[in-house]
Amino acid sequence: MWRSEVYGSYEVDVNTYNIFLLYNYSQGTLTSHGDSWSTIRNFTVKNLSSLGFGKKCMEPFILPDIEELVDSLSKEVGNRVDFKDKFYTPVTNHLWNILTGEEIRDKKFFRETLTSLHRSLWQPIGNSIWFLPWLTELFPGLTGLNWIKNDPSLLHNEVKRQTKNNASDSSLNENLVKIFLKEIQKTEGDEGSHFHKNKGDNHMKGTIINFYFTAAEAMTNTLNWALLYLSLYPETQEKLADEILAVIGSERSPSLEDLINMPYTKAVMQEVLRISSTSPFSNFQMTTQDVTFETYFIPKNTIILANLYGIHHDPNSYPEPEIFNPDRFLDETRSRDAPPPFLPFSVGLRSCPGQTFARNVFFLLLVSLCQKFEFRWDPNVEKPSSDFLTEKCNVSFLRFTPKFKLVLGWREKFGSIRRMSAAA
């Protein structure tokens, strides 16, 4: 059941029981609800936009981090590479700067922070922690509750440090923490304000953590799915590389302006977002009043999750949904009156506020990687079937790839040049 006018309206709101509450993340964009949510979300989105979030002006800041990644991967050509945490820095470095005014200098510390958070936050959807919170209190070790309570402290402490920095160092460039601090100061005498003293402070810290952590995990995971599928469908990878080499060549860095001339690349990105459904569900939401939708009656206080994975894997909309086939997004039928639903970032008031940033960074990274490298499935390892991929991925708030390693090769050596010589 899906209708944006019901789902995205005021009639549903974020549920008060939420795994994030266990982290003391009860404030911020992702986990608050009602009036405080809309105030904080609007404030955050408006100010992030004024800082260039998701805009083309981010390009010169993100590209050097991508180049650094390409350089470091160059040293691994010929090896079997695990890409699990390779993308954290290019995805988050500039974002962290916009959020806090600082660059990520100690990359190892941030990688460790994210790795420990990753372990605790992404409890499988079947874990009792989601549905039987009382059980987790009885068995905190077994159910992962201990991790959940302890692991976020590294990031919490880092955000606290950034807040202090911004309060004392006026030379830091404009950033979201600084803007929040000004608003908190402005509303010092207004107890009803969502920015008032501790309330404002909690919203600020929660928002920084929500944005940073969600970006790091959702993007890293999407890129991992992309490389995994491209290695399993080498002809698709070659077609993608051909378009990149034809439009951009092998030396120039990609620019967001190139996308308009790269329909196949766009289709590959869409197909990755569809088949992976990195974010398989919407956030937990709850009806705030009785709702009648078509023949269904949904009483007030019912928890609802939109099944985005189900929408993207419905064979009526996407025939043979487990096949990775970017052509389905090039098909003329897409431009018919009612193209199949495509909602990787959800829809409605609570849809993903990071989607433009996500699409742009996905494009820059995917193109930069496939321009230089070829990603091959190790011939000595059996290729996973689509059933295997479905069964072995960890489904949580995000849908994570099973563990895999790919053989990294040079694009020039193994890509178009090889095909050209074969043709000659």
- Give residues in contact with ligand HEM (CB under 6 A): 29-30, 41, 95, 210-211, 214-215, 218-219, 222, 278-279, 282-283, 308, 344-346, 350-354, 357-358
CB of 62 to ligand HEM, least distance (A): 12
Token representation of residue 47: 């100010």
Comparison of 223 and 406: residue with beta carbon closer to ligand HEM: 223
CB of 217 to ligand HEM, least distance (A): 9
Parallel, antiparallel, or unpaired for β 303-304 and 285-287?
Answer: antiparallel
CB of 389 to ligand HEM, least distance (A): 17
Comparison of 200 and 353: residue with beta carbon closer to ligand HEM: 353
Token representation of residue 274: 């569809």
Comparison of 4 and 193: residue with beta carbon closer to ligand HEM: 4
Q: Does the annotation place 352 within a ligand binding site? A: yes
Comparison of 214 and 236: residue with beta carbon closer to ligand HEM: 214
Coil, strand, or helix at residue 45?
Answer: helix
Q: CB of 359 within 8 A of CB of 345? A: no
Q: Is 365 exposed, middle or buried (0-12, 13-18, 19+ CB in 10 A)?
A: buried
* Residue closest to ligand HEM, measured at CB: 354
Cα torsion 214, 216, 219, 223 to 10°: value is -150
Q: Which residues contact 189 (CB under 8 A, 6 or more apart)?
A: none
CB of 200 to ligand HEM, least distance (A): 18
CB of 264 to ligand HEM, least distance (A): 19
CB of 422 to ligand HEM, least distance (A): 36
Comparison of 178 and 350: residue with beta carbon closer to ligand HEM: 350
Comparison of 36 and 165: residue with beta carbon closer to ligand HEM: 36
Comparison of 282 and 371: residue with beta carbon closer to ligand HEM: 282
Phi, psi of 374 (to 5 degrees): -115, 140
Q: How far is the CA of 156 from the CAs of 108, 160, 162, 176, in angstroms? A: 17, 6, 10, 16
- The C-alpha atoms of residue 349 and residue 29 are separated, in whole angstroms, by 12
Token representation of residue 156: 């919490």
CB of 222 to ligand HEM, least distance (A): 4
Phi, psi of 105 (to 5 degrees): -90, -45
Strands annotated E in 197-295: 285-287, 291-293
- The C-alpha atoms of residue 363 and residue 299 are separated, in whole angstroms, by 42
**Of 218, 340, 216, 346, which is closest to residue 281 (Cα–Cα)?**
346
Phi, psi of 172 (to 5 degrees): -65, 145
- The C-alpha atoms of residue 274 and residue 211 are separated, in whole angstroms, by 22
Comparison of 32 and 143: residue with beta carbon closer to ligand HEM: 32
CB of 16 to ligand HEM, least distance (A): 14
- The C-alpha atoms of residue 400 and residue 124 are separated, in whole angstroms, by 10
Residues within the annotated binding site for heme? 352
- Binding residues are 352
